[in-house]
Amino acid sequence: MKNVTIETVLEATGGIYFGEKDKEDLSITSVEIDSRKIKPGALFVPLVGNRSDAHDFIPDVFKMGAACTLTEKNLPEELEPYILVESSKQALFDFAKYYRESLDISVVGVSGSVGKTSTREMIASVLSEGYTVFKTTGNKNNYIGMSLMICEIEKEHEIAVLEMGISEFGEMHKLSELAKPDVCVINNIEDCHLESLKDRDGVLKAKTEMFDFMSKDGCIILNGDDTKLASITEVDGIKPIFFGLNKSNQVVAENIVNNGLDGIEADISFDDSIISVSIPSPGEHMVMNALAAVSVGMFFEMSDRKIKRGIENHSSVEGRLNKIVTDKITILDDCYNASPASMKAGLKVLKSVEARRVAILGDMLELGSEKVQLHEEVGKLAVNNKIQLVICVGELGKSIYYGAISENDGSSEVLYFKTKEELLPELDKLIKDDDVVLIKASNGMKFKEILDQLTK
């Protein structure tokens, strides 16, 4: 961290300091909410959850070398120095916001309904060809996760690419306040988190809260092929840059060649330039991620050569349509999350392969009142895409099953398992050598256990 002391934390959080006065000058080297990750010089932020209270671990973090802890409770003198705050969660946010404002860095905020992480990775790969880049890791894209991410930015970083994920109204407003993005990228508006956001108009409203605290001299980059995003013509005097396949966009992909699991080729035109790129990740949707990355590279005045190299050096992320080749089968690991749009993208990739195709599909969560219909549509799509074996798992997976059998003309085998625990003992019998297997469901289904068994 850059120039942070206990006194800095005290100023940022507005808390009450308990401890020796001279210790206020102690340096803070990191911020942690996990007591197991404490290193010397760390600030510990104990969060109170539904099942546990991290305040219980405060004695342990001092033994591990923590410089200070926040706390919502008065502590005994032997656990000083500490800062008493009303809410550890709010104090973490306040400190991260304070720290962000102290940084001389450009921030690219990345959001959308589907493919945020892949878009983030593609943008970071391009920018890394010309800048020292910090990027969100893992799934740390919410209120707490992004606060921690910002606290990891170092003074040598020139650009931060921050993924911003939400499920309710008002959340993106807070994330925008925290990130203060210079560039706002939204890659699509799809049916997701409908239990709280209701419909695509609600998703659009929630996602565009990203603009609330963006730089006045910033840039908005949007998928112009998305009907909802295309309706945005201007935000506080800023006109968006649109990307897509439609030639009315400023950044356009043409001559797309789908090489199946070996990736995608395309010509991308922008301004007076055309670059031919080979995207190493499978799926035609990756073209849109590349277009977003090209648009960001344009804003930062990167050369065509560096933009091309960044796209071609991009690598897939675990759990996001990541190709895994074992000694017997090929797996498309897409089990981190799922929505109707990402299910469609995954099945489209699977359809393109020349092998026996297997789809292991589970519940898509947070879809509201249309969840049954949306799951049935996935089942129908799987069969219509000529997937030879469709394995449906979970309570909502039953709707995938019913949708599949309603369209099946006998060319697909369609099976249903109530739980993944029922499926796991049967996997070895169902999967054959040389199969290509797509594994996809919402993260709450914990389909990584299926992946782990198949990769043993």
- CATH topology classification for 6-88: 3.40.1390
Mean pLDDT of the chain: 94
In a 3-state reduction of DSSP, which class is residue 53? Answer: strand
Tens of pLDDT, residues 310-368: 999 988 777 677 889 999 999 999 887 888 888 988 999 999 898 999 999 999 988 88
> Which residues of the chain does CATH 3.90.190.20 include?
322-454
> Which residues of the chain does CATH 3.40.1190.10 include?
103-312
The predicted model gives 98-109 an average pLDDT of: 96
Q: Are strands 82-84 and 241-244 parallel, antiparallel or unpaired?
A: unpaired
Q: What is the pLDDT of residue 319?
A: 67
Tens of pLDDT, residues 169-201: 999 999 999 999 999 999 999 878 878 888 999
Strand partners, 43: 31, 68
Tens of pLDDT, residues 144-157: 999 999 999 999 99
DSSP string covering 170-237: THHHHHHHHH--SEEEE----S-SHHHH-SHHHHHHHHGGGGGG--TT-EEEEETTSTTGGG---BTT
Contact 94, 79 (CB under 8 A): no
Query: What sign has the CA pseudo-torsion 418, 421, 427, 428?
Result: negative
Residue 271 Rama label (left phi>0; alpha psi -120 to 50; beta): left
* 238: confidence class by pLDDT, cuts 50, 70, 90: very high
Q: Which of 59-73, 194-208, 382-396 has the lowest mean pLDDT?
A: 194-208
Place domain 103-312 in its CATH homologous superfamily. Mur-like, catalytic domain (3.40.1190.10)
Q: What is the pLDDT of residue 147?
A: 97
Q: What is the pLDDT of residue 194?
A: 79
Other Cβ atoms less than 10 A from the Cβ of 29: the count is 14
Q: What is the pLDDT of residue 152?
A: 96
pLDDT above 80 (res 262): yes
- CATH topology classification for 322-454: Protein-Tyrosine Phosphatase; Chain A (3.90.190)
Q: What is the pLDDT of residue 168?
A: 92
Encoding tokens for residue 347? 């099945």
CA distance 62 to 271: 56
The predicted model gives 298-304 an average pLDDT of: 96
Q: What is the pLDDT of residue 108?
A: 98
